[in-house]
Amino acid sequence: MKSQSNLCEKCRSAGLIVPAEIVHHKVHIEPNTINDPNIALGWDNLQALCRSCHAAVHEAEYNKNKTPSRYSIDENGNVII
Ligand SMILES: [Zn+2]
Ligand SMILES: [Zn+2]
């Protein structure tokens, strides 16, 4: 966080100054990776993010791993998931 001046890396690359709140692990910490220091503490695996970027990263990964949602439209024009 300090190395990034406590700013969100994703927002900063988009030209926005937003405080970082979470250190994201690009390769996630899981039972089989937590003891690997390159993953748990490796500089290249860490990313300082704000809350909304962090949520977006995880949501994108989640959506990538599930089958696409199907949408339809009801008689009033509302989208039904
Ligand atoms: Zn951000
Ligand atoms: Zn994360």
- Please check whether residue 43 is in contact with residue 11, taking contact to mean a CB–CB distance below 8 angstroms: no
Higher per-residue pLDDT: 59 or 64: 59
- Residues lining ion ligand 1 (Cβ < 5 A) are 8, 10-11, 18, 50, 53
Ligand whose nearest atom lies closest to the CA of 58:
2
Helical residues (DSSP H) of 1-81, grouped into ranges:
9-13, 37-40, 51-65
pTM for this model (two decimals): 0.74
Give the pLDDT band of residue 77 (cuts 50, 70, 90): confident
Q: How many domains does the chain have?
A: 1
| CA-based torsion, 44, 49, 51, 53: positive or negative | negative
Q: Range of 9's domain?
A: 2-80
Ligand whose nearest atom lies closest to the CA of 20:
1
Residue 60 has pLDDT above 80, yes or no: yes
Compute, in angstroms, the gap from residue 61 CA to the centroid of ligand 2.
10
Share of the chain above pLDDT 90, in %: 73
Distance between CA atoms of 7 and 21, rounded to whole angstroms? 8
Task: Report strand pairing: 22-25 vs 46-49.
Answer: antiparallel
